[in-house]
Amino acid sequence: MKYTEDHEWLTADGNLITVGITSHAAEQLGDVVFIELPETETQVAKGDDIVVIESVKAASDIVAPLDGEIVEVNEALVDNPGLVNEDPLGAAWFFKIKVEDASAMNDYMDEDAYNELIG
């Protein structure tokens, strides 16, 4: 698992990258009440805003961590956005992105570096 400075987590299965938010991010957001997911087959570039999350505290965006194509979204989050608070590192993944080169994930932090970031 790798982590971004935007508090996203990434796991790779070959060139298929699953993306969600960390427990720390879920705690900071508070109770999540709405999630807008991207359409599948959407081409995205690293840094594009692609998911909108609204909580009782704030609204925020999730950005594409890598260039690629959205190939799957977690529809369960649309009906039950609270999954983000219940299981942010498991059942509450947001989308899967197919990338050309999964080695680009190496630019992101490992768990120790992420824990140092959040203190």
Q: Can you give the residue ranges of every domain in the chain?
A: 2-102
Q: Which of 21, 85, 88, 33 has the alpha carbon at shortest distance from 57? A: 33
**CA 68 to CA 100: how far, in whole Å?**
7
Tokens in use for 87?
């299981």
Query: Which of the 8 DSSP states describes residue 27?
Result: H
Q: What is the pTM of this model?
A: 0.93
| pLDDT tens for each residue of 28-61 | 999 999 999 999 999 999 999 999 999 998 899 9
Q: Which fold has domain 2-102?
A: OB fold (Dihydrolipoamide Acetyltransferase, E2P) (2.40.50)
Query: Which of the 8 DSSP states describes residue 64?
Result: -
| pLDDT tens for each residue of 91-118 | 999 999 999 988 999 999 999 999 999 9
